[in-house]
Amino acid sequence: MNIPAGQPPQHPMSNRMQIFVAVKVRIPNNEPALRLKTCWVCETRGQNTPNAPSAGVEMRKSGVRQGIGLRHWLVRQDEGMFEQFVESNVDVRDSQLFVRVGGEGPPVLLLHGHPRTSATWHRVAPRLVEAGFQVVCPDLRGYGRSSKPEPTPDHSAHSKRATAQDMLGLMNHLGHEQFALAGHDRGSYSALRLALDYPSAVSKLALLDCIPISEHLARANASFATNWWHWFFYAQPEIPERVITADPDSWYQGDPAIMGQENYNEWRQAVRNPETIRAMLEDYRAGLTIDREHEEADRTAEKTLQMPLLVLWSLRDDLEMLYGNPLDIWKDWASDLRGHGVDSRHHMAEEAPDELATTLINFF
C-alpha cells in the first residue's frame, strides 16, 4: 500500500488510529535515547501476516493507545524537516537549549538569525549531513524553544558573549572541542563573538549577511537609519513589546510558500510567544550597548579573527547597497578572507539553499 506522507493510511477493512512510535536513536555522546514520532497504523483483518513494522523503525506495542490484537501494521512516518536529526533539550550554563543534531563526521554548528529558529536551516542542514558532516542546529537563547533568560539592566543576559558561551558549552557537551561555525543575521554576531573569544574552538567561520555591529554603527548615516530603523525601535523600552504582541503575524509576515510549511509553523508558534518577543528585542538592545562595547574593545586591542573567514551576503538585500563590497570592511578583522554575494533575499538558507549548502561544503 502506498501511504502518502503526512496522511493516514486508507484501507477498506481497517480501523484507523493515531499512535506514537518509539524510535531508538543514538545521540552524539552515545547515550541511548528515544524519540517520539507521530505515525498512522492500520489494523488489517483476516490476514495471517507477521507483526512486522515497515520503514525500519522499532515498534513498541505498549505505545499503541486503543485497539488490541493488531495482526499487521502498515506504517509511514510523516516526512518533513530534519528527518534524520535527533531533537533534544540540553542544559548549558544558565540556559536550556533546544537543539537538532544529525549526521556523523566533522562537526558544524549553524546559528540562525532573527526572528527565525533552528528550523530555518531545514533545507541546508541535510545537505551538509549528506556531504559527511555532523550538523548541530540550536535555537539561540531566547529564541524558539530555548529558555528565555530574565532581562538585566545592562542587557548582558542577552549579549552575544552569553550566547557564544552557550554555544561553546553545547558543543563541548556533544564532545566537540573544535568545530566549523556558520551564523546568519543575529546568529552571525554570536558566531563572531564566539570566534573572537574562543579562537581555538573554531576551525573555520562563515558569516552570512553580516558586518560587525560596531561597523554598522560607525557608518550610521541617514540611509542606514532609514533602512535599519528597526534596530533603534527595538531598543526602546516596553513600546516594541506592546506593538509587536498586538499582531505578531502582521509584524513579522512569514510566508509558508517561501519558508516551507513546517518551518513556518514552528516560526509562527515562536513569534506568538510574548516571552520570545521580549527576548528577541533584548538581543537588539544588547547589540546597541554591551555588544558594541565588546567589539570596540576588540578593535582597541587589535584583536582579529585567527581562522579562515567566509563572508556571504544576499544580493537582493541591502548590505551591498549600504556599504559596497562587505569584504572591504572585513579586511580589518581577518587576514584569511574570502566571500561573495548570493542571489537571494535576506533569508538565504530558505531561498538559496543549494548555493549556500554547496558553498559551505566547499569551505568547511
Active site residues: 185, 346
DSSP3 helix / strand / coil % (the chain, rounded to 5): 40, 20, 40
SS3 call for 38:
strand
Lookup: cell for 14 = 481497517
Instruction: Please tell me the total number of residues recorded for the chain in this structure.
Output: 364
Cβ proximity of 305 and 195 under 8 Å = yes
Cβ atoms < 10 Å from Cβ of 218: 12
**Any idea what DSSP says for residue 282?**
H
CA atoms within 13 A on the CB side of 307: 25
Cβ atoms < 10 Å from Cβ of 269: 13
Q: Where are the beta strands (DSSP E) in the chain?
A: 16-26, 32-42, 85-92, 95-102, 107-111, 134-138, 179-184, 202-208, 309-314, 337-342
SS3 call for 285:
helix
Q: Please report how the helices 261-271 and 274-286 are oriented relative to each other, as an axis angle in degrees rounded to 10.
A: 80
DSSP-assigned states of every residue in 194-248: HHHH-GGGEEEEEEES---HHHHHHT--HHHHHHTHHHHHHTSSSHHHHHHHH-H
